[in-house]
Every structure is written in C-alpha cells, then in structure tokens.
Structure 1
Amino acid sequence: MSTKGFLTQNELEEKVAAGLIETVIVGFTDHYGRLMGKRVDAEYFLDDVLKSGTHGCNYLLTTDMAMEPVPGYTYANWELGYGDFHLVPDLATLRVADWLEKTALVICDVKNEKTHNAENIAPRSILKKQVSQLESDGMQCFAASELEYYLLENSYRQAFEQNYQNLSPAGYYLEDYHIMQGTRNEKFTSTVRRHLKNSGLQIETSKGEWGLGQHELNVKYAEVLPMADNHVVYKQCMKEVADAMGLSVTFMAKFATGQAGSSSHIHMSLWKDGQNAFAGDQEFGPVKGSDLFRWFLGGWIRHVPDVMPFYAPTVNSYKRYVDGSWAPTRLAWSYDNRTAGFRVVGSGPSLRIECRIPGADCNPYLAFAASLASGLEGIRSRIEPPECFVGDIYAAAHLPRVPYTLAEATTLFENSDFAKETFGTEVVAHYTHFFKTEQQAYNTSVTDWERKRYFEQI
C-alpha cells in the first residue's frame, strides 16, 4: 500500500477504473523551477506513458521566462531543429493532485531521446548525480526546505493588469507568529495544508512571517530527492489554489523594497546505518558533532561563491541580502543564530545544518545539489570550517560577503574549477549562459524605478 496521497500503479488503475482519476499530469521542472509538462488521459497513461514515457521539446531547457527560444546554447538551438527529449515517469513520485479534480501527478526524469541516458543539464539529473555519489559511500541525505511567500488579495490576472503596482498584501502589519492575522488568512492556508497533506506531503506548521502578508508553511523533512520533488508540488499547489480563490502568492526573493525577503532555508544532515552521521562527541564551540559534520560544514561554507547562482538564480535574488533583514549577508556559521548564513541547530540525532542563503525563487534540485556537492567535497578534502561566530554577524564587516549581484555570482560560477569538476563543463557552460541571459534581460529593461527617478528630474 502507498502512503497517504501517493499512489502505486495498482491503486492508480483502481481509481481510473472507478472514475476517480481521469487525468495524469506528467511533469518536470525547467531551470527556473517551474513545473512543465503535459496533461495525459489517465487510461492512456496506464496503457502507454507508463511503459514508454512521453516526449517534450528540448527547447524547454533553453527558454527564457517568456518562453522565447534563446540563441547561444549548444544543447538545443534552431540549427539543431529543437528536437525532443524523453520524459520517463518516476513512479515513486506518483500521487494524487488533491487540489485538482480527478487528477494525479507524476514527476519525470528528463532523458535523451536517442540514448535514453539522463540529460545532464536537467535540474533533477544534476541532483540525482550527487545522490548517487552519496549512496556509493553508503549514506543518505535528509533535507528540508522552508519556503516563505507573500499572499496578496489580488488575483494573478488583476496583478498583471495593474502592472504589478498598488497590490494589496493579505496583511497590514508585521505579523510574525501572530495568530490573529493568521486566522484572517486561514481559509487559504488551511485549504493548502489539507490539499498538500492529501497529496503526500507531511505538514508541520504554518505561521505569519516578518513582512506584510508574508507567511511560511513547513513540511516534514525527507530524503533529499523526494524533498526536492515535494518542494515543487508545494509551490504548484499553492499557486493554483490561490489562483482558484482569486488570490495570488509570490515566491520572489524580494517582493518589495523595505519588506523582508522570502527565503528557502535548507536544512541538511547525512545519515548512515539509520543514524545521524553528524552526531558525535567532539566539541565545536557550543556544538558536539562528528568529523563528518565538521568537514561537511566546512565544504558547504567554502564553496558558496562557486555555486551561488544555484541558491540565488535571478537578478531579484540579490536584493534580499540586506543587513538586519533576517537574510544572511556574510559567510559564517553559528549555533542557533539567525544572523548567520549557516545556522547549526539541534543536537545528537537531530543535529543539522541550516543554510539560510537560498531564496524562495531557487530551483530546489539545483539548490540541494549545490549544498550536497559542497558538503561532500568538504568531507573528501577534510575542509575545516571557520571558528563558530558568536554575536551579530551583520556587524562583522571583516567576514566574507555573499556576492552582490547575479552578474558577480555568474562570473564566479563560470570560472569555478570546483563547479566544473563537480557538475561537468557542459552543465557549467549551459547554466552560465542561462544566468547571463537573465542578467542581460534586466540590463536592457527600463524599470519603474528609473522612470520615477529620471522622468522629470534629469
């Protein structure tokens, strides 16, 4: 039997025969982390797609946010004719999409149409490569991503027609942990909690956050690949429920100047033989842990500059890193200290590392892959972390800072030997072009800020 919300093949067959499931969404994420794919008739899915997979245009791994084909990629381009890739359902992800009528959802691996090998540049493939290396060492990685978002009383269509100006947040004062403001939004939030729970996600808590209309809904940790899948389902469910209710949510890293940014804090620990491999008796400041814990932490911190665009993939991402805003600005670790880029929490079997650098706009497969790869390199090379910092890290100007812009982060990524050795030169070149394209789109756009500043006064 499957766990609640998930479906075995037999259970899907039974629900299809009973008329309870009529559609199966066959999906994967593009580089932005958006769920792409097809809706497939459920009987056709069982008769054909389940056995043979299906197809998608390979331009989907080269397009910009507006779905325009972007020149300059070697993977797919006009000269090569924009052919197909192969979508292979991962039945471990098959679940009820409870927020949709008579619908199931399955996440696919993206594979080459001819060789049926994994497409190396696909986000899920990148994470699976790191998981495979971890498993070869006899370990597991458990992870969680804490997504924050803003809830708005405007529908997505209204927001678009208003040019995303003068929108109405679903709160009018800072509501961090406030139950009363949470109650006002409970019709939406409770609906999402219920649908996610019925779609295979274990729900923990929901609460108000530090911005106007900002909230967080937490799901239970899982192994790192299923957690990334859950992250995708979470965002898709939340957006579609909001849309159906005439509301909107945004996962922009920085929704408004002067408001708190939205993060996707990553919690991570390694396990071996059913035990947390980070737990130990060695003293690291206020923390007791193992060598694996220390080296993983050291590698994770050291390689942030090498993989920063996987944590912060948009121009907007970098506007979140403001001192005194709850977003980290410097590379340091501390115990239970929210000014740190790396906050160590728990003890014994619950000991874990929380990286507070990723924004809510990250692609979970890429962010988890970057985190895991950095930590594993720390173990292989026995990288020592800096001393545990005590105090206000915002005030510690001597500490190294996270990159200021996407352009800066992309240059570091492009020139990183670590990134090339870890992900492969093909992946680094492909994503470098992707991030540069995103930066160029911003560089050539005229913004509201410019009009307000220069229209009359210059």
Structure 2
Amino acid sequence: MSKPRGLLTIDQLREAVDQQTIETIIVAFTDHYGRLVGKRFDADFFLDGIYKDGTHGCNYLLTTDIAMDPVPGFSFANWELGYGDFHLVPDLATLRVAAWLDRTAMILCDVKNEKTHQYIDIAPRSILKKQLEKATQNGFEVLAASELEYYLFENTFREAHETNFSQLRPVGWYIEDYHILQGTRTEPFNAAARRYLKQSGVPVENSKGEWGLGQHELNVRYAEILDMADRHVVYKQCLKEVADAMGWSITFMAKFAADRAGSSCHIHISLWKDGENAFDGDTAFGPVKCSDTFRWFLGGCIAHTPDVMVFYAPTINSYKRYVDGSWAPTRLAWSYDNRTAGFRVVGHGKSLRIECRIPGADCNPYLAFAGLLACGLEGIEKQIEPPAIFEGDIYAAAHLPRVPYTLAESIAMFSNSEFAKRTFGAEVVEHYTHFYKTEQAAYNASVTDWERKRYFEQI
C-alpha cells in the first residue's frame, strides 16, 4: 500500500514550517478512555529537538477518571509518589497534517519510563505493541480495520451539557440506514470529515447512514494493526473537533438511548505471512476454505472473549448495547456473513478475515485490538478449536453462551483470568482492574434520572 496523503517526514515538516503552512504541532497519546492528551508545541521548537528527544507528561494521566480527577489506589502513580513525569516519545511514523485545524500537524507518542526509557507496560499503545511483537516473532503481519458508528446532533456540545444531555435534536428524524436523501442532509459534516481524514493520513473508504436517528458510519481503509489503531484515534479526534467547529455535537457512546440502536466498533482482522493471507487454505470448515491458523485463531478469539471483555466494553454504558435483535451481538458464536454473530467470518481467499462485532464505539482501540489479537494468538499456540458454525438467528439460540452483560461481571472475569495475567502481565491486570472498578463505583454511587422517574412518587 502506498503512503497515505497527509503523512509527513521530518524534512517535509521543515519545509511546511519554513513556508508557514504549519505553525503548531500536537504531541499526544491516549489515556485509558482512548482520549488524546498531550501538548501543543510551536513548530520551530518541536523541530529544534522535541521530535528526537520527546517531552514529558505527568504520570497521573494514566490514573485519572473521566473527569481528570486523580484516583487513589493505583500503584503506578499516586500522591505518595508525588505524581512525577513519564517520557513521551514521538513515533515519527505517525507525523501527519491535522487538516481540520489551522496550520497544525500532529504526532502520536509512546509512553516510556523517565529513567529507564523502557515502555510503560500499562500504557494502551504499549499493550498493543507487546501483542504485535508476539505476532511478529511468530512470523505474522497483522492487518486490521475498525468500523466506527456515531450519532450527530444539531446542538452544540455546550448546549448539550447545559441541558444535561436531555433535549438533543438528532440531525435525522427517521432511520436512514443506507438512505441517500437523509445522508445528503448531513453531507456538510460527513463530507468535511472524509476530506479532512484523507488529508491527514487516514485513507477513507466510505460513509453511510446507519440504523438510528442521526446515526452514521464512516469507514477508513484497513492497515497494519498499530497503524489502524492510530488512525482510529485520529478519526475520533477529527470528527469531534469538526462537529464542534460546525456547532453540532457527536457521541461515540455505545448506547446513546434505550430506544436507539447502539454504536459499534466492528474489528476486522487477518494474519499475513510472506505476503499471503495466513487464514487462507484448502481445508473445508463449514462454508469456508481456510487454514489451521484461521481455525485456531477464531477458536482463541471465542474462547477468551470473557477474559478481555473489559477491553471491548469498558464503561457502564457499553453493556446497554447488548440487546437481542438490535444488531449488537449477544451470544458467543461464529457464522459466515451473519450479522447476528459475535464473530462474523467474511471474504474468501486473500480477503478471508474475521469480524469481531462485540466492541462498542466507546472502546480504546489499542486495548480492543490488543485483546482480540492476544486471544487469537493464544488460540494458535494452544490449537483451540472453535465451536461448530451456527447458521440462523443467533439471537434466538438461548443455549449458546452469552457475552458478559455488565461491567461488574467483566471486571470479575478479567481480574481472575490466568490468561490475562499471563498474556498482559500481572501489573496490567491489577492496574486496569482498579481502573474499571473505579468506573463501576462511580456509577454505583450515582442517582440517575431513571431512578427519579421510577421512584420519586411511586415508592
């Protein structure tokens, strides 16, 4: 694949800075939620050394809740240790124009220890890189794509906040799945998003209306798995900021409203070796001709879903999406080109791949990709056989094992998983268990609109 438009070399950046078409460089990484955090540098100062030497960030950024409050109980960083710095090391392969911003470029960073300069194991990008390294050691290249869905509203983010997110006006007023007329009405946003992404090193395939009022999907071209995770992060940042600039708002919540379709992050994945799809083969497996590698990878993905479910569904809201008949998977099964399956196998020959439909649009791509890849690699190593193919309506198959239905359930499975501890490391499991328990505790302590409506008068 050719180098995407919008990616920059350092020499190209120097030229753009000299021509004053680039003045600001965003240096960033993702927190646990998948949000970009970091700094904006003057472009000349960045070129004077930051691109080689990196910069510093407060290590509390990997121990905060969504409101940016420091959370006690983490061994990685806390008040007793004084919340020191870690080292942000720019990955030059991610240097790109941020076309939606004025005279701005962006670069993503790895997070390393300030003293040892080793990767910080709990950083999301580090977790994915560790699994990618394992795949590489086994001779595999990993290609992936994530399909993100989102809801658009005519309210600004500020207006949404000031009305407690209760009086939002969707940009559409009927289900617009594949509907061109309704999609035309939102082209000012979606066309801008496609254009800016393409100009920012994120090649776009298409966009379309989805199965919700004001819901859309915009797909970008598949890539090597780390590159794809980076594209996913840039995509979300771009769309949020474009919506904000247009006076609209956008949400990647997994389930915006009980009576609306959820928003997913379907992940397509395949392994390649010596330029050939390692999933392709001559063995008949149901309707698929595949290799042992494919079969065992699929088996591992299904068998270990409960162990990594927190990476697919990281919030309380994530689990509201798993509703029968809602296009979201509720059972652990695989099928060929069947959208009721948690694992939908698609393509054939060189295009044969696995689509994991379990993650929601709220997932951190580094963690979700790492979880899926780790499960598949474990399947290959242990030669885990997948269950028989299921044909028909999986929603109606009550005998099949279901996906975990609550964050609390998933936390328990993750924290007690020997597979997770062996694969990601005990430190990672301990750290993220505390992180997700903090999210659960925040919800447990809250009083919701649902409770007031149900109990205020009637109890």
Shared fold per TM-score greater than 0.5: yes
- Specify the code of the residue in structure 2 equivalent to 1:101: D
- Specify the code of the residue in structure 1 equivalent to 2:283: Q
What is aligned with 1:271?
Answer: 272
8 Å contact from structure 2 (residues 296, 376) kept in 1? yes
- Specify the code of the residue in structure 1 equivalent to 2:226: L
Query: In 2, distance between residues paired with 1:419 and 1:2?
Result: 35
Mapping for residues 1-400 of structure 1, pairs under 5 Å: 3-400=4-401
Structure 1: unaligned runs, 5 residues or longer:
none
Query: In 2, distance between residues paired with 1:80 and 1:317?
Result: 33
8 Å contact from structure 2 (residues 146, 268) kept in 1? yes
Q: Give per-residue Cα distances to partners, 1:223-251, cap 9 Å, x unaligned.
A: 00000000000000000000000001100
If the length of structure 2 is used for normalisation, what is the TM-score? 0.99
Query: In 1, distance between residues paired with 2:31 and 2:52?
Result: 24
Query: In 2, distance between residues paired with 1:293 and 1:314?
Result: 31
Q: Give per-residue Cα distances to partners, 1:179-211, cap 9 Å, x unaligned.
A: 000000001000000000000111111000001
Query: In 2, distance between residues paired with 1:51 and 1:145?
Result: 30
Q: Residue 427 in 1 paired to residue 428 in 2?
A: yes
8 Å contact from structure 1 (residues 2, 8) kept in 2? no
The alpha-carbon deviation at position 138 of structure 1 amounts to 1.5
- Specify the code of the residue in structure 2 equivalent to 1:342: F
8 Å contact from structure 2 (residues 335, 390) kept in 1? yes
8 Å contact from structure 2 (residues 4, 202) kept in 1? no
List structure 1 runs of 4+ shifted beyond 4 angstroms: none
The alpha-carbon deviation at position 2 of structure 1 amounts to 5.7
Partner-residue secondary structure (3-state), 1:4: coil
Query: In 2, distance between residues paired with 1:2 and 1:214?
Result: 31
8 Å contact from structure 2 (residues 152, 171) kept in 1? yes
8 Å contact from structure 1 (residues 33, 363) kept in 2? yes
Structure 2: unaligned runs, 5 residues or longer:
none
Partner-residue secondary structure (3-state), 1:70: coil
Query: In 1, distance between residues paired with 2:19 and 2:151?
Result: 39
The alpha-carbon deviation at position 3 of structure 1 amounts to 3.8
The alpha-carbon deviation at position 139 of structure 1 amounts to 1.1
Query: In 1, distance between residues paired with 2:208 and 2:447?
Result: 36
The alpha-carbon deviation at position 48 of structure 1 amounts to 2.0
Q: Give per-residue Cα distances to partners, 1:45-103, cap 9 Å, x unaligned.
A: 11021121000000000000000000000000000000000000000000000000000
Partner-residue secondary structure (3-state), 2:8: coil
Q: How many residues align?
A: 458
Query: In 1, distance between residues paired with 2:178 and 2:238?
Result: 23
Query: In 2, distance between residues paired with 1:444 and 1:390?
Result: 43
Q: Give per-residue Cα distances to partners, 1:379-399, cap 9 Å, x unaligned.
A: 000000000000000000000
- Specify the code of the residue in structure 2 equivalent to 1:173: Y
- Specify the code of the residue in structure 1 equivalent to 2:29: F
8 Å contact from structure 1 (residues 266, 356) kept in 2? yes
The alpha-carbon deviation at position 316 of structure 1 amounts to 0.1
Partner-residue secondary structure (3-state), 2:145: strand
Query: In 2, distance between residues paired with 1:414 and 1:124?
Result: 20
8 Å contact from structure 1 (residues 156, 243) kept in 2? yes
Q: Give per-residue Cα distances to partners, 1:134-182, cap 9 Å, x unaligned.
A: 1111110000000000011101000000100021011111110000000
The CA RMSD measured in Å over matched residues stands at 0.7
Partner-residue secondary structure (3-state), 1:299: helix
Partner-residue secondary structure (3-state), 1:280: strand
Query: In 2, distance between residues paired with 1:50 and 1:340?
Result: 44
If the length of structure 1 is used for normalisation, what is the TM-score? 0.99
The alpha-carbon deviation at position 4 of structure 1 amounts to 1.1
8 Å contact from structure 1 (residues 413, 419) kept in 2? yes
- Specify the code of the residue in structure 2 equivalent to 1:330: R
Query: In 2, distance between residues paired with 1:379 and 1:364?
Result: 22
- Specify the code of the residue in structure 2 equivalent to 1:30: D
